[in-house]
Amino acid sequence: MASPFPYTLLFFLFPFFLIIFVASARPPFACASGGPATGLPFCSVGHPIKTRVKDLLGRLTRAEKVRLLVNNAAGVPRLGINGYEWWSEALHGVSNTGPGVRFGGQFPGATSFPQVITSAASFNASLWELMGQVVSDETRAMYNGGQAGLTVWSPNVNVFRDPRWGRGQETPGEDPKMAARYAAAYVRGLQQPYDGKHGRTKLKLAACCKHYTAYDLDNWKGIDRFHFNALVSKQDLEDTFNVPFKACVTEGNAASVMCSYNQVNGVPMCADPNLLKGTIRGQWHLDGYIVSDCDSVDVFYNTQHYTPTPEDAVAATLKAGLDLDCGPFLAQYTESAVTKGKVTDADIDAALTNTLTVQMRLGMYDGDPSKQPFGNLGPRDVCSPAHQSLALEAARQGIVILKNARKALPLSPSRHRTVAVIGPHSDATVAMIGNYAGVPCRYTSPLQGIGSYATAVQQKGCMDVACQGDQPIGTAVDAARTADAVIVVVGLDQSFEAEQKDRDSLLLPGRQQELVSKVAMASKGPVVLVVMSGGPVDISFAENDPRISAIIWAGYPGQAGGAAIADAIYGAYNPGGKLPMTWYPQDYVQKVPMTDMNMRANPSKGYPGRTYRFYTGPVIYPFGHGLSYTKFSHSLASAPTQLSVQLDGQKLMSFNSTDPAQRKRAVRVTHARCDGLHIPIHVDVRNEGDRDGTHTLMIYSNPPAGHSAPVKQLVGFEKVHVTAGGQVRVEMAVDVCNDLSFADANGVRRIPIGEHSLRIGELSHSVSLVAEQTRL
């Protein structure tokens, strides 16, 4: 691999935990010294966890067990076990969205990183894991102080399928393989597994990947997530929607998966035995628990009317594989479900075995938390200078330059001394952290950040994001006329895109476009447009306006967003972010109903397909777009032109490798010898400019013709730092079975045999996959 200066060093700057000893404010959750369970096997750390869980289950009554099936699990005082709130959130920092986290006292706030879609734009897996480690430190510290839980229901790894989705901001974007890599990296950072006794891996936190599966509609034109039945093909389920969740479990070893509200092909997700017990636990081998999205069980009974009685709903969800209900439903109806013969005590024990095992892996049954690993973490480990510096670095890495005409950026502090800062987000604070956020350590607004480089004169022009009716656009125009440069900060906020709020339009709200155009017309100096949003916005008017010199997408950049935006505009930081989603024109959403789940295009029906993998129509900006203040070039150092795919001779005796028709077919992944089947790609990246910079090396694959594979697919990416005039060699490997395969109509993974075109920037390289029968 290359030696990317800022990224490898970051791991050494932020260790897993800082050695600062504090008195724990939290009493033991269970197994306190001298308590009623002293000496009992479930409290003995010398026993295997499996033995301890079995012992505890044998001591609980049915009524006690039932109260442990819900998020606000009741305590068992006679055994010295306290109540526990399972619902904590940590999407991009410790969040008080769920009841498990409480700010105040010694923990007034926590580090707020950029919203996930913004961090995704960094294309830096090392950064994602490091952010997870920081969030893990801060969550453990707050747990030790009695103000957070250890089970965090993050990350959101749904594919950003439709640009209108209000929760797309929470996701790593539209590419399933990139989302998969984000998922595994962030989960590893959160959980930080370590070896316990008896070979059992223990956890610092327990992460949860959500919302499984095909969930990406909240409330669109009267259709909401509680009633929506997502009609999804086996093909799209396998090679799009389930890809990040599989990686969460198999690569990130996530301790939990959350099932979603929606139905998939007529079955509520939290009652689908094939997708829960069959896939998550059976095929992917989840070592953890499955939890419902909050009140999902109640929703499929009372709203979707999937079962005739509450007891039947209990049976449907427990037998499908659910272990924990976020909501009261299982606590209310499970005992009567047993009485009526719908479920058995064994069904309850199976669910509790999974949840209790996770709690024991977290050390919750090991006594005093201050005497355990990470028990030293406390208030000094939350909002530390190092953590806040990383929040700024993450915001910088997420900034994407969309346009830079005539090299208008970076601005010069000496030439652009007075800057008009205009727009509804010109002094943004809360808007910068997006949703599922907590209380930040502090804010740096765009106005404050720009003010550190020049004299900043603010005139909002639009008093809020809606920008309706009478607005002081004229005063903003007047300010633009006299300034050396103009920075207009526009976009969206949670009133336009959020949970339970999808968009109808991709245009800027209200009179924002009018504000931008009039200010640009009046300005005597360069005009920089900054867009703050989670989802894409049709800003073609600005891209095509020669008076708008530069455009930046900042996403929702977190607590340090204003400083990062200013550093990028003034060149203290050379941005290298790339768009993690396609920016479509407005007419795209006028043609495509949000309810159509098909990924692949269907020209006969006028359906254009979704995401860069299948959509080939016009765009405002493509997936992966992003400029730099320097220029990078690529040269291929080495790569094979042919690779043999060894097939299992026992299963494919009829395969004839000399038959041209056979050689072009797509073979099942399960029939290939996949171990070590990689295409090694070595690329030299050269910085041809006079500024140091970071570059995302992306490898795309175009498959042989004649298959229903994606039109193109991102098969690898790496972030590298290259000094001005320097060159770095990047060594990557394309996994043939994972990266070059696609799902057929039956959801079966296949490898297209034939010529695959690999594109790396301006380079194109062909690799021919040749099927060969294994000689026995």
Which residue numbers are catalytic? 293
What is the Cα 457 distance to its own chain's centre? 36
Between CA 219 and CA 226, with CA 225 as vertex, the angle to 5 degrees is 125
**Torsion sign over Cα 429, 430, 434, 440:** positive
Q: Which run of H or E residues covers position 390? A: helix 385-398
The sheet with strand 256-259 has its strands ordered as 208-212, 256-259, 289-292
CA atoms within 13 A on the CB side of 605: 11
Range list of β-strands (E), 519-631: 527-532, 550-553
Residue 420 DSSP SS3: strand
CA–CA separation, 129 vs 594, rounded Å?
Answer: 32
Burial status of residue 580 (CB atoms within 10 A of its CB: 0-12, 13-18, 19 or more) = buried
CA–CA separation, 666 vs 651, rounded Å?
Answer: 15
Residue 330 DSSP SS3: helix
CA–CA separation, 119 vs 104, rounded Å?
Answer: 27
Residue 61 is encoded by which pair of tokens? 């009554």
Whole-Å CA distances, 580 to 61, 154, 179, 212, 496: 50, 19, 9, 21, 20
What are the backbone dihedrals phi and psi of residue 348, each rounded to the nearest 5 degrees, phi first?
-65, -45
* Cβ atoms 70, 332 nearer than 8 A: no
What are the backbone dihedrals phi and psi of residue 685, each rounded to the nearest 5 degrees, phi first?
-105, 125
| Residue of 9, 252, 21, 251 lying closest to 130 (CA atoms) | 9
Residue 334 DSSP SS3: helix
* Cβ atoms 485, 526 nearer than 8 A: yes
DSSP 423: S
The residues pairing with 292 across neighbouring beta strands, listed in sequence order, are 259
Written as one letter, the residue type at 719 is: K
* Cβ atoms 471, 451 nearer than 8 A: no
Residue 648 DSSP SS3: coil
The sheet with strand 642-647 has its strands ordered as 642-647, 763-773, 754-760, 693-702, 713-722
| Residue of 613, 540, 625, 523 lying closest to 580 (CA atoms) | 625
Tell me which residue has tokens 């404010």: 25
CA–CA separation, 127 vs 391, rounded Å?
Answer: 10
Q: Which run of H or E residues covers position 49? A: helix 49-59
CA atoms within 13 A on the CB side of 84: 24
CA–CA separation, 503 vs 385, rounded Å?
Answer: 38
Range list of β-strands (E), 623-762: 632-638, 642-647, 666-668, 678-687, 693-702, 713-722, 727-735, 742-743, 749-752, 754-760
